[in-house]
Amino acid sequence: MASQLTDTLQRPLRDLRISVTDRCNFRCTYCMPKEVFGAGFRFLPRADLLTFEEIEVVARTLVSRGVEKIRITGGEPLLRRDLPRLVEMLAALDSEGLRDLTLTTNGALLTRQAQLLREAGLQRVTVSLDSLDDEVFATMNDVGFPVAKVLDGIEAAEAAGLPVKVNMVVQRGRNDGCVADMAQAFRRTGSVLRFIEYMDVGTTNGWRMDDVVPATEILAKLEERWPLEPLAPRYPGEVAKRWRYGDGMGEIGVIASVTQPFCGGCTRLRLSAEGRLYTCLFAAQGTDIRAALREGGGAADVAEIADRLWRRRDDRYSEIRSAGGAGAPHVEMSHIGG
């Protein structure tokens, strides 16, 4: 029976996001701008990455401390060799309390891996896609990757039996004109489209509040064409506010961490690829657990570190930012996942 672990604001630990690599084959301008993450950028050497066996120890231990949902992230997680093997290892934790195992990807490698991931035990997949317009999308991913190949990946995931969510980061002056077209394309497909306010992830993307398209504006654009009805959250701490089309042709979500912070319900802990725990997407420093794992420690040491870290957690960056008090440097999102 998993024990209840809560922080200083009485938020329980329920979600674990595991980054398996800091590398990505895209250079999205809002996440890994080419000017910073160019040819000379030094990514983590393989020896520094947690092994799958080390990740499994951490995940198993945290499931025993209350984690019910694990999301595999990157960088781009499908760049990590033999990833279905890790999925199989994590899926086995369902007998110990894990209820949801999912993955976030840019979709570029999904066509050839979707069936393997499903067979390994993956339950759902989230695909990042910021526009259906090739010119806009190529400008945002900054490597000229075509929309069609991402759509092929989504189709492969659906064919393999993986439910799909599609994430669109909306940035003013870049792809905000594509909101309605995206909604139209996914409205009848069964895939849930989620619009995400452009966030100040890391310190390299040149974020400005002027570039944020607020959730209220996104919803207004959609309601010009389709009536929307609000849906109740499916579980405590759900970050997306859900809406369904009035004609019953699907639903959307809006993640408004900039204009409508949800720190008060945050239940997420993040594990970086080299074995550091972060209690907030906007944290400046993580807590090392790799050393404990490689110096003879095991589940007991991981549990002690995680317990101590979570119990003193008081992060509420987005609330502070909205009040005009944030702005300190924080880890790049590409390093610990979204």
- Concatenating the DSSP letter of every residue in 87-154 gives HHHHHGGGGGT--EEEEEE-STTHHHHHHHHHHHT--EEEEE---SSHHHHHHHHSS---HHHHHHHH
- Asked, for residue 57, whether it belongs to a domain, the answer is yes
| pLDDT higher than 50, residue 336 | yes
Cα angle for residues 302, 121, 252 (degrees, 5° grid) = 95
Region 141-148: mean pLDDT is: 96
Confidence of residue 241 (pLDDT cuts 50, 70, 90): very high
d(CA 10, CA 314): 10
- Asked, for residue 7, whether it belongs to a domain, the answer is no
CATH number at residue 304: 3.20.20.70
Region 199-226: mean pLDDT is: 85
- Asked, for residue 8, whether it belongs to a domain, the answer is no
Region 243-266: mean pLDDT is: 91
Answer yes or no: are the C-beta atoms of 145 and 183 closer than 8 Å: no
Encode pLDDT of 28-40 as tens digits. 988 888 988 998 8
Region 213-237: mean pLDDT is: 93
Encode pLDDT of 274-323 as tens digits. 999 999 888 878 999 999 999 987 899 999 999 999 999 998 877 776 66
- Asked, for residue 10, whether it belongs to a domain, the answer is no
- Asked, for residue 3, whether it belongs to a domain, the answer is no
d(CA 102, CA 121): 9
Encode pLDDT of 66-84 as tens digits. 999 999 999 999 999 999 9
- Asked, for residue 101, whether it belongs to a domain, the answer is yes
- Asked, for residue 39, whether it belongs to a domain, the answer is yes
* More confidently predicted of 96 and 208: 96
Mean pLDDT taken over the chain: 92
Question: What does the block give as tokens for 285?
Answer: 């420093």
Answer yes or no: are the C-beta atoms of 66 and 12 closer than 8 Å: yes
- Asked, for residue 109, whether it belongs to a domain, the answer is yes
- Sign of the dihedral through C-alpha 199, 256, 87, 308: positive
- Spatial neighbors of 241 by CB under 8 A, at least 6 apart, are 215, 230, 233, 253, 254, 255, 256, 260
Region 125-134: mean pLDDT is: 97
Domain count across the chain = 1
For residue 115, the enclosing domain spans: 15-336
Region 222-231: mean pLDDT is: 96
